[in-house]
Structure 1
Amino acid sequence: MKLGNLWIYQKERFPLARTVPLLAVFSAASISVSAQLAGRPLPSGWGFLAAFVTALLIFFQMRVCDEFKDLDADRRFRPDRPIPRGLISLRAVMGLGVLSLPLTALAAGAWHPPLLWLLGVVWVWLALMTAEFGVPAWLGARPVLYLVSHMAIMPLIDLLLTAFEWMPGGGPAAALALFLALSFVNGCVLEIGRKIWAPQSEIAGVESYSALWGPGRAAWVWAVFVALSFGILMALAVLTDAVAVALPAGGAGAVACAVAAWRHARAPTIATEKRLDLLAGLWVFLCYALAGFAPILTGMF
């Protein structure tokens, strides 16, 4: 396996320039929200680092599982992807995924060994997702149920990441369920946002939400998930006394998403499609940044 090919692979299938900042904010916000809701001080920087490494490796493992699960479809309908076109082998990618497993366990267990059982729960769900829960044809014929079953891993990952704070800290706050719900909704924002395409971008044999619902309706479904995410964010802001920061910043982001959805619904193009995908990532980044750090900023002023 050539390092140059591996670098190209990550740029196309696991872009670190986009993934690292998002997961850094996601993992740090998870710890911060858990502490804020419980009225506890933040853990040391080592806890934040361990949670980030754990999150990064889990998301890479999710990519590896997708490569395995989607290989046949990629060969048939997306031969330009790295594995079908021969840039890198599936065996090499899976080898890296297997290698990442003990590193993930080390990162979590070194901080707090009981975290390993929650990590095991995440891995079990990931394995079930990869196997399509044993009913691939049945699940594939029900796209909404497919979305829900696969996005359920997001609150499980967030339960693990928040546990870096609450497990050694004495237990989770009751309101932490709101933050786990936010993770599920934001997962849907990302997933739907990346699969809303202009008509000319649709690929025969490849499912998209724009093909399922039409580009206009899909854009508005995405906007509804953004609005739901904003509502949960504001509920968390009320609980952590951070409305003064979260409301204007989050409101501006939600409006920008709504405008992008309207433009795509009115006239779907490749440019509006890319804008939705970009805004999906930016919205989730902003949402977690506000949930995790708006209470801290509010307290400084």
Structure 2
Amino acid sequence: MNLLDQIKARAKANPQTIVLPESEDERTIKAAEAIIKEGIAKVTLLGNVDTVKTSAASLGVSLDGIGIVDPATTDKMTEYAEKLAEIRKSKGMTADEAKALLLNPLYFGAMMVKLGEADGMVAGAINTTGDVLRPALQIIKTSPGISTVSSCFVMIMPTAEYGQEGVMIFADCAVNPNPNAEQMAEIAYASAQSAKSIANITEPKVGMLSFSTKGSAKHELVSKVQEATKIAKERYADLVVDGEFQADAAIVAKVGASKAPGSEVAGKCNVLVFPDLQAGNIGYKLVQRLAGAEAIGPVLQGIAKPVNDLSRGCSVEDIVNVTAITVCQAQATK
């Protein structure tokens, strides 16, 4: 059973309610049917009920077992608007302004997650990453002890030589262009949690990457990674992390022993934290293309309850897979 099958199996074992706010997109409607048929999650679509039913009928899609909520007509609107106004009172938001904002399905979906009426949200098939993240950050906010939302990719190698049986986490490859030391430390912690909840990595070993290993080079870029490692070790007592490492010192046992003797993770890392977005994005794409690795993601992390962003070029299968990942994240938050 490959990792994606394992993720789906874990999702099926304890399905969570996932809200899909982009019901005007036919891929989303098709995915909702597939998710229900596979038993991966309970699904709520947002949109005009008649329009959703008409679209489903034209696509030959069954809506059996799928909830449909219309933000424009739901009797929850007054309650939601009052609670959103309370959340955003520091910004001067009124209940009327909140009500207008909640007509946007992305905001309504985020409020459902915030109030526990859904366990997670998946969107981005027709919305930008910024549009998906904005309501999540304003309403759901970040996890305790975390102020930085980041992303990770689950990398599945064609051989089991590296990581945990060929599975590794790469972060951050999609969100933060140039994280500072504190943000890097938070990304390290969030990535370790993702390793456990998504990739089934039982003992995350986090390597903080640089072009230097344990002071072999002196530069302000190296100093940032050194400081990030120090913060991560001090702040997260249960986090197994070390650095700064060059990539080979992080993942190759012989090189790790030579360049970083005495480190408990050198040469054994299964979670790699890159120093900036350029390195992370280039790194995962090179491994994907040159090594033939499968890259699952980006998966958002650091949000108090799971919200995941799709590529606007996503397939129906992509939506189903990301929903399964979101279910696993929701299980972990509970």
Q: TM-score scaled by structure 1? A: 0.29
Structure 1 or 2: larger helix share? 1
Specify the structure having the higher radius of gyration (Cα).
Answer: 2
More strand by share: 2
Taking structure 2 as the reference length, the TM-score comes to: 0.27
